[in-house]
């Protein structure tokens, strides 16, 4: 499975012969992992297999929001206008990129950011200062990172500690014109507070691959209309959680997870 649907106690109780759950992604917050463990069901994710795909999409969004490519494309194709003076942007070079969560994805984002001559700062509570140094980044606290960054890229899991991490209070401490990129999970950014900040022009933009309510209603199986007040904001860009949606990442994740299935079921290569 991927990051949906939710696997709760009811589903786990109904799965009488379930031995394992293979998550073809990093996050497992959609699974009741503790209850699965109680029932002897092993849960595996695929850390790192989609790191490059997510990192490349992150840089894509940074470029799109910095160079106004999406509204410019719309203006030409839909409005049939050809006015380059409406879409003056800014370069990534020399800007400070703050990376929240410096695991495989975050480190790859930092590596790509350095190729654009960006200054890399990062937050990760599980790393030592020398580990940041080894990646050419400066480690710092969440509060400090939010204050100094021109771009803040989120790559932390959704937990009680990270939920609503970006809210009215933290957004107020950001630099003028700074941009937030949520490439992790909906709920880390308080969308109501972000909407207010964008409408009032307090920050430069918000780019996201996730939303709090992305599986509303019947989720992936229905035809529910998906809407958000954020859609009114010109400096908000969104994609439907496609960070790992590359043929390359799908191949790598598939090989990894089927290997885990083989291990759990005790199959040798000839039996697979």
Could you give the residue numbers annotated as active site? 185, 214, 241
* Four-point Cα dihedral 4, 159, 126, 107, nearest 10: 40
What is the C-alpha separation between 39 and 25, in angstroms, rounded? 22
Q: How far apart are alpha carbons 73 and 161 in whole angstroms?
A: 39
- Residue for token pair 């771009």: 151
Q: Which two tokens stand for residue 49?
A: 């297999």
**CA distance linking residue 214 with residue 227, whole number of Å:** 10
Q: Is the dihedral of CA 13, 16, 22, 24 positive or negative?
A: negative
Sign of the Cα pseudo-torsion (13, 15, 16, 21, in order)? negative
Measure the N-to-C terminal CA separation of the chain; round to a whole number of Å.
19
User: Residue 206 belongs to what H/E stretch?
Assistant: strand 205-208
Strands (E) located in the chain: 20-22, 42-44, 96-100, 119-123, 138-139, 151-154, 179-182, 205-208, 236-238
Contact between residue 185 and residue 29 where contact means Cβ atoms under 8 Å apart = yes
Contact 107, 139 (CB under 8 A): no
- The arrangement of strands across the sheet holding 119-123 comes to 138-139, 119-123, 96-100, 151-154, 179-182, 205-208, 236-238
């Amino acid at each position: 499975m991927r990051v949906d649907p939710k696997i709760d106690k009811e589903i786990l109780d109904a799965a009488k012969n379930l031995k394992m759950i293979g998550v073809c992604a990093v996050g497992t917050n959609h699974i009741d992992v503790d209850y699965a463990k109680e029932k002897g069901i092993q849960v595996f994710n695929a850390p790192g297999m989609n790191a490059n795909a997510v990192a490349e999409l992150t840089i894509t969004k940074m470029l799109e929001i910095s160079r106004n490519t999406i509204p410019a494309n719309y203006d030409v194709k839909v409005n049939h206008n050809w006015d380059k003076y409406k879409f003056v942007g800014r370069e990534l070079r020399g800007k400070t990129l703050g990376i929240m969560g410096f695991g495989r994805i975050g480190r790859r984002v930092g590596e790509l950011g350095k190729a654009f001559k960006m200054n890399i700062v990062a937050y990760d509570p599980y790393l030592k200062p020398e580990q940041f140094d080894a990646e050419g980044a400066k480690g710092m606290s969440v509060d400090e990172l939010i204050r100094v960054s021109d771009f803040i890229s989120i790559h932390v899991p959704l937990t009680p500690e990270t939920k609503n991490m970006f809210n009215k209070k933290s957004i107020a401490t950001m630099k003028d014109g700074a941009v937030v990129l949520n490439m992790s999970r909906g709920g880390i950014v308080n969308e109501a507070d972000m909407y207010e900040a964008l409408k009032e022009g307090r920050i430069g933009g918000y780019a996201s691959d996730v939303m709090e309510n992305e599986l509303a209603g019947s989720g992936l199986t229905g035809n529910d209309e998906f809407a958000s007040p954020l859609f009114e904001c010109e400096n908000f860009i969104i994609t439907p959680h496609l960070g790992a949606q590359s043929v390359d990442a799908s191949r790598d994740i598939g090989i990894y997870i089927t290997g885990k299935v083989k291990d759990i079921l005790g199959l040798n290569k000839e039996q697979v």
